[in-house]
Every structure is written in C-alpha cells, then in structure tokens.
A and B are shown apart, each in its own frame.
Chain A
C-alpha cells in the first residue's frame, strides 16, 4: 500500500442494481483520492456494511427492496456518522421524497447518471457526482486540486 492509498477517502455504494453499482464505482475510480471499499444491495445490508467498514461517505439509492434509502436514512440518523449522498431518479427536486431526504439530513441529492453512451453527457454527470463527493468531504474539486480525471472507459478504468 503506497502513501497515497492511506490518504484515500472510502466510499460505500448502496444500490440494488448491479449495473448501477458498476457505473458508480467506475465514476468514483476517476478520483485518485477516493476508493470504494464496499457495496451493499439494500438499506439493511448497508447498515451492516457501514458497521463493518466505517466508510467516509455513503452513496445511497432510494428504490431498493427490504429497506429502501429513506429507511436507511432514518436509521443512519443515530447510527451512521458518515455523510450520505442520495443518488436517485425518484427523488426529484421539490418532491415529497426529496423533502424527506433533506429532513433526514442527506448531505446532497443527485440524479442518477444517464446516457453513458453519449460521452459528453456521461462526463458531465460523472463530474457532478465527483464534485458532490468532494464538497461533502471538504475536499477541493478535482479540477481545483489540479488532478486530472481520467475519462471513464479508459483502458483500465
């Protein structure tokens, strides 16, 4: 493990979709300061993984079986210290779910990335997520930190 690995901030990705977890991970990997240390498939799984892994940030989906994202946020209020970024297409601005997530202390709410096929859209979406994670962690954005984000889908991304 190199010195830079020690500094890495850790993330837990919570989403019932395998594909979505892959995509979120491949976006997060673009920031050398971040590292996904675990994945959970629903809120209950996430609570267990948080206890075991103590991530610095949690990326949380809302629509999930067993325990959904809102259910997780409720539990997290007293049990999970890490900030939670909600990533969902159901929590639209102004929706009651958005308000619920805000009231439950979600650090940020983002739309799920879409259109990875068209490269421009993907990069915008990916950057938004990376910027949001950086902001929640109190880090400068990749751009401001002078770190160039390699494009997703690059040879080893």
Chain B
C-alpha cells in the first residue's frame, strides 16, 4: 500500500465503477444489438486502470474478457446469449473484486476459473458460415476509427496543391541553398495552406523562414515534404513532391552518401550495445545508432524515399522498444538491422529506390515486424505473472525471467492441475550426476524454465547453481521422495518452494451479491466548479467589506472624545459638541445602512451559493434506472419469459441522495412485475397477447414532483387473492371487502405483511413486500400508488419531490424544545380554546369543522410525560397532520414559523430515536430535529384499533 495508490484511489474507484456500470448496461441488451466497440473500450479502460494500480487479479480478468471482445470486434468470434452470460459473470466478479479492494487496497482473490472460461471463449472459432452471417461487418464499421473528415478534402486542397506544385521545388532549393529568405515562395504558399487549415504546414513554413542553421532548415524542410506528401496520398492531388525530390537530389546526394556511410559504419554500435555490461552503456550506444538513422531519415523524407523511410522509422522504433526492454535484442534482430543499415548505400548507385531495392526493403520490413511480434514483450505479462503468483503462491525472481513460451507452458501446467515446483541444483559439485537429474526431471515432469545463478558458498567461493521450474503430474510428496532417491543426502538438489496447484476459488459471484452501494464520489462539470469559485470569491469580497466596517475605529474614537469632553466639562455640551454629536449620529446611521446593505448582499450571495450546492447534488434519474435492465434480463432468462424493457425519461434530474434510496425499491418492483405480473410466452399467447411482454419504466417531471411509472402488460393484480389475504390478515372487516373501492383494494398490497404470491419464490417473495417499497418511498417524501386492469397489467406510480435535501417545515416549540414537522404532512395550523377539548374513550380530541380530530401532545408522543393538568383557559395551538389517509392533531406550545431547512445526515444515535426523520442545523448553530410524520402516526395509532370510529379520513 503506498501513498500514490491512496492518492489515485478515488479516481480509480470512480472510473472503474462507472465503466463497470456502463459495461453491464451495454451487455444486457440482446446479443445482436450490443455495440461491441463500446463494450470493448469499457473493458479496455477497466483493464488499463487495474494494471496501473497493480491489482493483477482484476487486470487478468478484465484482460481475458478484453481479448475475447477484441476477437469479437475483429469478427473472429460472435456474441450470443451464452457468452454474454460469461461476460456478465466477469462483470459481477469485477464488482466484487472492486468491493474487496475498496476494503483493504490489496490485490483481490483471483478468478482463475472465470479467466479460463473467458480464454476458452476466445479460442472458439465460429463456423465460417456463421462468421459470415454474424452482424460483424456492421460492428467493424463502427470500429473506433470514425474520423472527422474535412469537408471534401480534394476540393479544398486544390488551391494549396496548385500553389505547392509551382512553388515547392524552388522553395526547397532555396532552403537547401545559402539564403532561404531569397525565395519569394513562402508567403503565397503559407497563405494557401492557411486558407485550407493546414496548420502544421503553415507552422513549418514560418519556422523555415526564421531558421538560419542549415541542418535545422533541412530537417524542417524534410518534415514539410513529409506532410505535403501525406496530403498528396490522402487527396490524390499532385502537390509537387516528386518534382521537388528530383530537383533537390543533386544538391543533397553528397550528404546522402555521407550519412548512409555513417549509418553503415555505426553498425559497430549495435554490437557494442549487445555486449554492453551496463544498461547505461547499452542505451547510450543504441541512442547513437538511432541518431545515425535519424540523419538518414531526414534525407529520406526530403527525397521522398518512401520504402527507406518506413523501414528506418520502424527500425528506430524497435530500437527504442529494445531500450525500454519491450523487445529482446536477439541475434536475429541484430542481423536484420545490419542489412537495414547497409541499404541506404545501395541508393547511391541507383540514384533512388529502384525495384530490387524496394523489394529488398519490403522484405526487411516484414522480417522486422515478425521479429517484433515474436520477441515483443507481451502486454498482459504483469497480469499473467501476477495471476500465476497468486495461483502458485510463489513470488520469486524466476517467474520474472520467463520467456513468452515458458510463460505459456507454465500457464498450461497450472491449468492442467500439475504440481509446479522450483528446484535448485548444484550441478557444479556433481557434474556426473547432472545427467540423471535432468533425465529424471524431463522424464517424470516437464521443465518449464531454467536459469543460472551465482552463489557464494560458505567458503566464499563463487559457484554456479541452476534453478529449474518444473511441472509434475503428481503430488509434491512424490516429488520429494523421488528427488530423495537421486540425492539421499540432500546436498545437491533443493526443493525450494512447492505448492499444489491451488484450487481456483469458485466464481460464485451471483448477481444477488451485488449490493446497491451508494457511490461516494460525484463528478462535477468544470463550468459548475468555475461558478463555485466565483461565488466563493463574491463571499470573500463581501466579508472583506464587513471586516473593513467592523475595524473602522473612527466612530469609536469620536465617541470616546465626546465622553471625555463631557466628563471634563460636567454634562454641559457646547454648541460644537452638539454638532459633533449630530454628525456622529449621522455617521452611525450611514454605517448601519452600509452594514444592512452588506447583509442583504451576503444573503443574496449565500442564497446563490446554496442553490449551486443543491444543483451539485442533482443527477439524471437514469442513474437509478441503469441497474434495472440487468435485473430484467437475469430474471426473465431464468423464468423463460420474453420481456422488452422500455425506459424513457432517464434524463429527468433528481437529487443524488434520492437515487441511492430509490434503487432498491425500483429493483423490487421490477422483479415483482417480471416474477408475478408477466406470464410465460405460452400463457400470453393463450390470452391473445404477443409472446414478448413489455415492461415500461417512465420518468417525468410534473411541477415540483418527479413521477416514475412502472407498467407491465401482464396478468394484472388478482383481486380475489387480495381480498382473501386481506381478510385473513384482518385488514378488511369482511371476506368480500365490501365498502372498498377497486382502487383501495389494490392499494392494500402496500400494507405491512401483505404478500399476494401464494408460493414464496426465490425472487420476490422473501417475506418483504410492497410495504418495504412504500416505506422507502415515504422516507424521501414520496407516495406510491398502484392501478391494475385484470389481464392487461399493473402500473405503479411513484410521486417524489425533486429534491430531498431541502425541506419546507413547520417549526414548533414543545416542552422547551424546538421541532420541525415536514410541511407536506401539515394540513393546517389551528388555534382552539382549551374548553374545546373533549375526552372520548380516554382519548383527547376536538371537533374540527364538526369532525372529531384526535389530539396528541407532541412531548407525549415522543416519550415524555403527559402535562400534569391541562390549562383551563386560553388557547391551544394544534398542528393538523395527515398521512394521506388519516388526520391527527398535534398539541404544541407554540408555532414558530415555516422555514426551509437543509436536511443533514444524522448521527446514528439520533436516527434511533423514535419519530426522528432528520436533523438540520439552525442559524445559531443549534440542532433542529425534523420529525418523521409516518412514525408519528405509528406512535399515535399504536393503540388506535379501538379508535377506528374516531379517526376521520381526510
């Protein structure tokens, strides 16, 4: 664990979580519609991030998936539901791994089995026919190479092309000659290039005009030629590079001869690099060699020697790769580079690239590419080594020195469940014995890798030992036994570290384990941030103004002077003193006015700041919807139902905190719809409906509310069953539920303990029902309703406030404390005379417009004592609350106002208190408790069964 990881952690976590979510969303569509490039890129980014942070177990998983997706996008594999399932498993596993890393920042448990499955997917080659029929061509077209083509390039470049054809040869000659500035070619050419947006060419021309160093000019000219040549190839228009090359050839042929000979001579540098004893010496030699190549490259660009240019560019890049240890410096590479270094000399005889030269150069180019492909250090190497270390439980230098081939072999051995051990052999001491040992190893097992090590023995004598990595098809005890036979005294061979092939942990990720984790980071758009900086700047300025007024001591000094004067002269004030007093009064007044203005401005600025802060928390509701397609896919597949999920309005913006709360209820309702509402295709067809069911998820803004509808076209709610259940649960007075409207009947499903499914299913009937959904929705100040047409489906409607963070409340005082009641539950505030209170069956109540209203002392509801005696006279303040069904009156000491408050996170100890829904901080720093009206109703109605008659419906 290091500091850098911690520093980068938030970025890593946010990015990987975001990519995983996007990836999952892309994958849950039907296989044919998946945008392969998009999916590939998500996986690629995840892999890159994990590699960067060194979480090799995640990297190897993402890497295996990426490799498969790469084949898909290349058209070598096709996507279908089965392999999408495996990809989704990988997504789940990555989520779990991310959670594990979040806890301890350690490399999580490897998912070897899953990695293997992904790898085997990538090796499946579809039948040729299938490959041709697969929607691959479309996917290929979408491959990330969408380039923004300039508007009809050929046409727009015509002006420049014509100008270049005329001027380029002269300009080139002038540049190579003594005085670059004598050519009048610059300006018209520059203007033409500028007119066509060829900024790079413009810039090169400008630099050419300012550069007086001959070599510098040649390099710039070469670069210019190169770019113009590219323009020619792209547009097909002749820009005069061929003519220019021919024209300048005589001027630089001598130089070409020199640099070509230099390059050939510097071949010794390659030898020096290969035999260098230090890395520094090797790098230095290679850099010098590359510099020689670069000098030829300049001329190759100038003279339009295209094959030479390609070849030498590749050669320099490969040498840089060697310097970076990305490519091994094999004798084959040295040999080909030897030929390459000699090639430019051939140009001198033929005066340019002739056919045999081009053929030779092309052949060398191919060989270099081949060498790079086979000797190139694979990119996923660290991840593969990491996963090998994980599964072998060994972490030592020998693994690092594996060649690509031995790495493959070792992975195969691990895959086949062989026992991999590391054996150190002191063959120097027993040269005769060595043969038997090697024979045993290669006979009984497979030598994956070997390396020579130098050791100093006890006598400080240097000796060579060999280390072998060997895979055996039997257990480690047998290896030890057989090794013991070869070396009974155990002095020559040492079994260093052994490990049975570790059983790879089951990939039992399962979608159920994915918790709806509230993400803690929030990405902010930079313009929003800028606005914040400005707002805060405004506040600072205002504060400075206040500070200035505060620290202005002038008034104080003048007052002191007056006091002194008055004490010196008794109380008699002179005319001047009175004038001074008057002026002072005026100044104090104007100062107060200033303060008042500042106060007003601060208030305005704070308001804007607060608005912006709230704006920060607003995100598209799509964030809550994103998880649902996966739920629908998994469940409908499991139940063999065909469901099309149709999402709309995902752009409607909502408070971030609300999203976190809504995810679970939404998932529950969607599960319910698929599980209970939607029929099997056969049932649907029987009912005359299309086999594919439609599940709609719609969000829209209506005034200050967000409306979410979840509608399916399934079988609808079963009224008879609801009646039976409701009666059995004592929720309705008679078996027919007479007196309940159809709508009321349907809405009974939100009552606690109500679950209509007769068989508790895996999916949605786990004892928790719609009452939980209702509770969660109510928590954020929302309401839920259900409508259902038999045979045609169910529609749940959620109505939510757009912002959960700011609440309008009615502030009251009770027993010396201040409380707030959410305004949305407050019907009205009334004042009643004490004499209006009656006692009905032990419950105090009053009549509100002729209807009885049960009354409760707020202090009593919250667990305090009943006031010793009710006052006989005066008036009582009553806040009338409604939960949508019933009304109660809350007796308070005083109603203090109706402010808007910002709801804060609660300390868990406060959250546990009965009836508390939230807290806010008051202007004086005190804590204001916001009461939860649902809970107040529960507390009030605890003993209200007998009071049914008393409770009045709203």
Contact = CB atoms under 8 A, between A and B. Distances in A.
Q: Tell whether A pairs with B.
A: yes
A71 B51 CA distance: 25
A49 B614 CA distance: 31
A29 interface: no
Nearest to A129: B324
A8 interface: no
B8 interface: yes
A19 B11 contact: yes
Given A64-B144, A67-B148, A94-B370, A81 B204 contact: yes
A115 B376 contact: no
A19 B369 contact: no
B41 A16 contact: yes
A4 interface: no
Contacts of A68: 144-146
Nearest to B371: A94
Nearest to B41: A63
Contacts of A153: 2-5, 7
Interface in A96-148: 98-99, 102-105, 108-119, 121-122, 128, 132
Contacts of A43: 147-148
Contacts of B8: 19, 22-23, 26, 116
A115 to B, nearest CB: 4
B49 A51 contact: no
A44 interface: yes
Interface in A39-88: 43-44, 47, 51, 63-68, 70-71, 74-81
B51 A114 contact: yes
Of A20, A108, A114, most buried by chain B (CB within 10 Å of CB) is A114
Interface in B369-415: 369-379, 382
A157 B4 CA distance: 9
A81 B200 contact: yes
Interface string B1-35: 01111011001101110000000000000000000
B327 to A, nearest CB: 5
Interface stretch (B175-183, B225-233, B422-430, B639-647): B225-233
B12 A63 contact: no
A36 B580 CA distance: 62
A110 to B, nearest CB: 7
B124 interface: no
Nearest to A77: B230
B126 interface: no
A119 B313 contact: no
A152 interface: yes
A98 B317 CA distance: 9
Contact of A19 (B49, B204, B326, B370): B49
Given A74-B147, A93-B318, A94-B373, A18 B48 contact: no
B171 to A, nearest CB: 17
A89 B379 contact: yes
Given A65-B38, A81-B200, A81-B203, A102 B54 contact: no
Of A67, A76, A115, A152, most buried by chain B (CB within 10 Å of CB) is A115
Contacts of B16: 19
A51 B199 contact: yes
Nearest to B16: A19
Contacts of B14: 18
Contacts of B15: 17-19
Nearest to A103: B310
Interface string B550-588: 000000000000000000000000000000000000000
A18 B11 contact: yes
B648 interface: no
B314 A116 contact: no
Q: Say whether chain B's binding surface is mostly helix, strand, loop, or mixed.
A: helix
A81 B199 contact: yes
Given A17-B48, A98-B317, A153-B3, A78 B11 contact: no
B52 A116 contact: yes
B321 interface: yes
B200 A76 contact: yes
B372 A63 contact: no
Contact of A95 (B148, B324, B373): B373
B4 A67 contact: no
B768 to A, nearest CB: 38
B54 A78 contact: no
B297 to A, nearest CB: 11
B201 interface: yes
Given A16-B45, A22-B11, A102-B314, A112 B373 contact: no
B920 to A, nearest CB: 34
A27 to B, nearest CB: 11
Nearest to A152: B4
A112 B369 contact: no
Contacts of B382: 114-115, 121
Contacts of B48: 17, 19-20, 89, 112
Contact of A63 (B44, B146, B376, B378): B44
B198 interface: yes
A137 B575 CA distance: 82
B372 to A, nearest CB: 3
B68 interface: no
B11 A77 contact: no
B379 A111 contact: yes
B819 interface: no
A120 to B, nearest CB: 11
Contacts of B326: 93, 111
B279 to A, nearest CB: 11
A22 to B, nearest CB: 5
Of A43, A70, A92, A111, most buried by chain B (CB within 10 Å of CB) is A92
Contacts of A78: 198-201, 227, 230-231, 234
B26 to A, nearest CB: 12
A132 B324 CA distance: 10
A116 B53 contact: yes
Interface string B203-239: 1100000000000000000000011001100100000
Contact of B52 (A71, A99, A115): A115
A99 B369 contact: yes
Contacts of B7: 26, 153, 157
A17 B148 contact: no
Contact of A116 (B4, B40, B324, B375): B4
A43 B41 CA distance: 15
B53 A67 contact: no
A23 B53 CA distance: 10
A58 to B, nearest CB: 12
B689 interface: no
A89 B50 CA distance: 13
A112 to B, nearest CB: 6
B445 to A, nearest CB: 31
A19 B248 CA distance: 49
A115 B51 contact: yes
B4 A122 contact: yes
B500 interface: no
A80 B145 contact: no
A52 B314 CA distance: 32
Of B54, B55, B147, most buried by chain A (CB within 10 Å of CB) is B147
A112 B49 CA distance: 10
Interface string B858-894: 0000000000000000000000000000000000000
B199 A116 contact: no
Nearest to B7: A153
B227 A17 contact: no
Given A93-B327, A93-B376, A105-B227, 19 more contacts: A17-B45, A17-B49, A18-B14, A19-B12, A19-B15, A44-B148, A47-B148, A51-B199, A68-B146, A70-B145, A78-B198, A78-B227, A89-B48, A92-B373, A93-B317, A93-B321, A105-B226, A122-B4, A152-B4
10 contacts: A44-B148, A64-B41, A78-B199, A93-B326, A108-B320, A113-B52, A116-B8, A119-B4, A121-B382, A122-B4
Interface of A: 16-20, 22-23, 26, 43-44, 47, 51, 63-68, 70-71, 74-81, 89-90, 92-95, 98-99, 102-105, 108-119, 121-122, 128, 132, 152-154, 157
